[in-house]
A and B are shown apart, each in its own frame.
Chain A
Amino acid sequence: QVQLQQSGPGLVKPSQTLSLTCAISGDSVSTNSAAWNWIRQSPSRGLEWLGRTYYRSMWYHDYALSVKSRITIKPDTSKNQFSLQLNSVTPEDTAVYYCARGVGSWYWGFEYWGQGTLVSVSS
């Protein structure tokens, strides 16, 4: 059974960097049969996919256009986890952030989710 455990601060100041980590158990971040995603949800923006990383002989990354200039998703094979960094945050980045494992033909079905982390951007 795959489990995803999120960690990271719940409060970030404007203009600073939001950093979250998703620890994986029951699978490997380097697997060839999944993709590892970050998604957020807020009342104003609904559910919003942010990006993903996956390994197919080399590492690949896909990012949402809305955050592409500010986001980095990194795998950490030594700790079997992956992370989210979102730079230059504003109050509009306040949301519940989730990590998720993608399955299906192109790995766009999110079968396993982390517990969610409420991140508030405020001074």
Chain B
Amino acid sequence: QSALTQPASVSGSPGQSITISCTGTSSDVGAYDSVSWYQQYPGKAPKLKIYDVSSRPSGISNRFSGSKSGNTASLTISGLQAEDEADYYCSSYTSSSILVFGTGTKVTVL
């Protein structure tokens, strides 16, 4: 099972909105609504930001939103802040009954 494809890096200025894509296939992202998004700082465990495509866990800012169209899921961060600078990963359930992660995206706040 191949990893989901994410852009290596995305950048934006404070206050702007950015969108990170996560491209899979009709056997994973396109087939199931089990897409999640994680934020990870260096040396720390990932933190769940979005699950089930667009649901936010308790305590997660509504600046983070998720969506899906076909085989591509997206994470949008609005009102970009310095603290949003981190690595972001998507994940999806697959038809092979396993979970696959994305390649990761480094977000830089200019």
Contacts and interface: CB of A to CB of B under 8 A. Distances in A.
A47 interface: yes
Interface stretch (B9-17, B72-80, B91-99): B91-99
Contact of B51 (A48, A49, A62, A109): A109
Nearest to A49: B99
Interface string A98-111: 10000111101111
Interface residues of B, number: 27
A116 interface: yes
Given A47-B46, A49-B91, A103-B51, A110 B36 contact: yes
Contacts of A115: 45
A64 B98 CA distance: 6
Contacts of A116: 45
Q: Provide the main secondary structure of the chain A interface.
A: strand
A58 interface: no
Contacts of B36: 104, 108-110
Interface residues of A, number: 21
Interface string B28-51: 000011101010000001111011
Interface in A66-123: 98, 103-106, 108-111, 113-116
B34 A49 contact: no
A105 B89 contact: no
A26 interface: no
A106 to B, nearest CB: 5
Given A46-B104, A48-B101, A49-B100, A109 B48 contact: yes
A109 B57 contact: yes
The 3 residue pairs across chains A and B that have the minimum distance between CB atoms: A109-B51, A113-B45, A47-B101
Interface of A: 46-49, 62-65, 98, 103-106, 108-111, 113-116
Interface of B: 1, 3, 32-34, 36, 38, 45-48, 50-52, 55, 57, 89, 91, 93, 96-101, 103-104
